[in-house]
Structure 1
């Protein structure tokens, strides 16, 4: 069977979008910021050393939907923990969490339906099933886009409570970009699968142009009917 290009495009883009959105969901880089702290101590050793010199320490703070992290720049010191406090209780964060989980579930279900509908092991695909899967994938992409939009729009106001980092400036981080890309791929892949609702155009019968050739047996119904020999048996 020759699989339509729209089905191939959808069956490739939808899983890729799902992987990217899932990667964005589990990583803690939805927003990040830097805070410079001053530390008093002895800097250096030997002649000319000044006691009580101030050394700046740069901390990197990042938040995700389910995890937050703090890391010292240019070092392996890093600590992560589940989100808590005002950030966890913020209704916009909870909304983003629910939308992302719903998006992942719908996209996975849509991909399963699309795989069943394509049916590469038979001659005729189940176009209705594949298109329904595409509709679910599009819905999943729109849900994740909504979650990303809500989070990005309120990024600097989501549960701010950093008394130790008074000068922390937050900005979008890498996980958001993975999410945006994955959501767009889901929408594109789902729309491609939805083109499966369109009726396929089969080649016409050479002898009778108004008749279509059967896609399974590639035979002309009119010719087959006339060429069939009929035997009459009398008792």
Structure 2
């Protein structure tokens, strides 16, 4: 059985969102501070949720672990991002594990319930990271900054938005497996509710009056038993033996002898 398209989309977009959100969480570039007074004009201060770095654009020299004199890390949007981004990554990794067990490309039939649960975890992970990134972006110009400096959005926010959207789309795609799971349960329920007649049950004799009132095709459909797949060969293996007009019969083994 081929893996459903919805599962493929979810299992591909999930790792892509993981890479983007992991980079957004660890890189110190949520906000850029430029044109700092009484500092070199090409100096750029990169502020993240874990560290602050300063980079000189002319020489490409970077210095990290800059002191937080403005209490930037104590602000609520930064504290929320510190909690939600790692939680989002943990939820995403758990969702990818569950989704991988559900998709199971190495087996004939995927486990739709596990794939749907993995999709819910991916969706929740995308929401957590999206809340953190959106809140920080909304309060970006309200956070403490050096006076008369210029504030710009860092690339981590862009990566965070992209990763969150990919996770949400992948999670929604995987949750479509719940519909497939419901269909499988209905088919199993219908199969178990259908009972075949007992083997020792005798078929009632057909009288002339019954035979005249009931069509032969209806009788055939009523008393016909399902044929197992192992006996559905369209070739007649005894055709050569019956068609032989000679008294001599071949002594070579055929399918019926085997």
State the TM-score bracket (shorter-chain normalisation): 0.7 to 0.9
Name 1:57's counterpart in structure 2.
Answer: 41
> Does residue 23 of the first structure (1) align with residue 39 of the second (2)?
no
- Normalising by structure 1, what TM-score? 0.74
**More deviation, 171-180/75-84:** 75-84
Pairing 1:133–2:118 present: yes
- Aligned-pair Cα RMSD in Å: 2.5
Q: 1:127 to 1:179 in 2, by over 3 A?
A: same
Query: Cα distance 1:30–1:222, how it changes in 2: closer, same or farther (>3 A)?
Result: farther
Instruction: Give secondary structure in 2 for the equivalent of 1:222.
Output: coil
What stretches of structure 2 of length at least 5 have no aligned partner?
185-189, 192-224, 233-258
2:30, 2:156 within 8 Å by CA — same for their partners in 1?
A: yes
The structure in which a higher percent of residues are strand is: 1
1:81 aligned residue (65, 68, 82): 65
The equivalent residue for 1:199 is: 180
In 2, Cα distance between the equivalents of 1:134 and 1:76?
42
Separation in 1, partners of 2:88, 2:230: 55
Q: 1:96 aligns with which of 81, 84, 87?
A: 81
- Aligned 8 A contact 2:98 2:118 in 1: yes
Match of 1:169 among 146, 150, 156: 150
Flag structure 1 segments of 5+ consecutive residues without an equivalent: 40-55, 203-209, 212-220, 229-235
Task: Mark the structure with the bigger radius of gyration.
Answer: 2
**1:36: Cα distance to partner?**
5.0
Of 160, 166, 186, 2:167 maps to 186
2:106 to 121, 129, 146: 121
State TM-score, norm by structure 2: 0.68
Aligned residues: 192
Compare the two structures and name the one with the higher helix fraction. 2
Match of 1:49 in 2: none
Structure 1 position 144 matched with structure 2 position 125: no
Post-superposition offset of 1:82: 6.6
Cα distance in structure 2, aligned partners of 1:82 and 1:136 = 36
> 2-side partners of 1:183 and 1:138: how far apart?
9
* Contact 1:65–1:83 (CA under 8 A) maintained in structure 2: no
Q: 1:106 to 1:83 in 2, by over 3 A?
A: farther
Aligned equivalents of 2:66 and 2:43: distance in 1? 19
Distance 1:123 1:81, change over 3 A: same
- The whole-number CA distance in structure 1 between the counterparts of 2:230 and 2:125 is 52
| Rounded Cα–Cα distance in structure 1 between residues aligned with 2:227 and 2:2 | 24
Which structure is higher in RCO with an 8 Å CA cutoff and minimum separation 6? 1
